[in-house]
Amino acid sequence: MNIKKYKVKDQNFKLNEFATAYKGKSLSKEEAEIQLALNIEKMMTLQDQLYAQNKYALFLVLQGMDTSGKDGLIKHVMKGLNPQGVEVYSFKQPSPLELSHDYLWRIHQHIPARGKIGIFNRSYYEDVLVVKVHKLLNQLPEALITENIWQERYQDIQHFEKYLGNNGIIPLKIFLHISKEEQSKRLLARLDNKNKKWKFSEADMKERAYWQDYQQAYEEAISGTATPSSPWYIVPGDQKWYARLVVSQILVETLEKLKLTYPIITKEQEACLEQYREELKKS
Ligand code: AMP
Ligand code: MG
């Protein structure tokens, strides 16, 4: 699989030039599941090295419209990883305390520590998406709410991600791209399945009415924040099995680029370890 075609290359990015569905013939669902399992195995080793080396961290930002499959993807792609090395955090509507701070305040405490993989189910990108679509800026001084505010936020986000990257904390951003028709199917499926009815929310219906505004907000936010060191990938989301495979591939390749290794044992350390071996044999 070539993931390059899903990577945003420049700031002239157009969301509608990216597919929401896999239309190829070469990959079946069954084959994709086999490949996903292989990628999960690779990730297990890479994660083990990341943890042992304790220098880098990776954080995956998962964004997408309601029903785009964020929760399922986390469940299916991250299974098999060592839970001690993974931290998943879902960002919901900010609390009054969170709103009384700058919007990255609540984020920073969940940025993964070295050796760990952090997964953000939604993120600070909501502050240039839902906040933009619904104009939720009441807590700010009026003088700061100008027509430049979104460009300023894209710049701030770029700097924030660059800063983290300079610290060995590597950002990776995924947009799960589904069609409006697919969302309707998935919402209907929730109504049809008694075990899924609980997932249906009135809020999803309300947000669906703003579909176009969200697509535009995503396009602008992604254009404004896709950089070589902090890339965005637009993953076709209409077939969940395909999206899961693509994301697993992106994760594997991103981790491989870090050239992770287990900590090197020096000759002196080796000699010490041999002494311990002898002691253990005697005791
Ligand atoms: P869900 O992902 O379905 O659990 O819903 C979480 C909700 O929280 C979504 O509707 C998000 O748009 C909303 N949300 C997340 N972050 C923010 C934010 N910074 N401001 C306003 N709403 C947010
Ligand atoms: Mg929701």
pTM listed for this prediction: 0.96
Task: Please measure the distance between the N-terminal and C-terminal CA atoms of the chain and give it in whole angstroms.
Answer: 53
Closest Cα to atom 17 of ligand 1: 93
Q: State how far the Cα of 254 lies from the Cα of 140, in Å rounded to an integer.
A: 37
**8: number of CA atoms within 13 Å, CB side?**
30
CA of 90 to the centre of ligand 1 (A): 9
Mutate to test the pocket of ligand 1, among 92, 107, 157 (most ligand atoms within 8 A of CB): 92
Tens-level pLDDT at each residue, the chain (283 residues): 899 999 998 888 999 999 999 999 999 999 999 999 999 999 999 999 999 999 999 999 999 999 999 999 999 999 989 999 999 999 999 999 999 999 999 999 999 999 999 999 999 999 999 999 999 999 999 999 999 999 999 999 999 999 999 999 999 999 999 999 999 999 999 999 999 999 999 999 999 999 999 999 999 999 999 999 999 999 999 999 999 999 999 999 999 999 999 999 999 999 999 999 999 999 9
Q: What's the confidence (pLDDT) of residue 9?
A: 87
CA of 107 to the centre of ligand 1 (A): 13
Q: Name which of 81, 199, 70, 184 is nearest 122 in CA terms.
A: 70
Is-contact 89 110, C-beta < 8 A? yes
Q: What's the confidence (pLDDT) of residue 264?
A: 92
Q: What's the confidence (pLDDT) of residue 10?
A: 82
Nearest bound ligand to the CA of residue 217: 1
Q: What's the confidence (pLDDT) of residue 90?
A: 98
Is-contact 21 238, C-beta < 8 A? yes
pLDDT tens-place string over residues 12-70: 899 999 999 999 999 999 999 999 999 999 999 999 999 999 999 999 999 999 999 99
* Position in ligand 1 atom list of the atom nearest CA 129: 12
Q: What's the confidence (pLDDT) of residue 204?
A: 92
Q: In the structure, which protein residues have their CB atom closer than 6 angstroms to any atom of ligand 1?
A: 66, 91-94, 122, 126-127, 130-131, 136, 203
**DSSP-assigned letters across all residues of 111-131:** SPPTT-EEEEES-GGGGGTHH
Determine the angle formed by the axes of helices 70-78 and 240-257, rounding to 10 degrees. Answer: 60
Nearest bound ligand to the CA of residue 66: 2
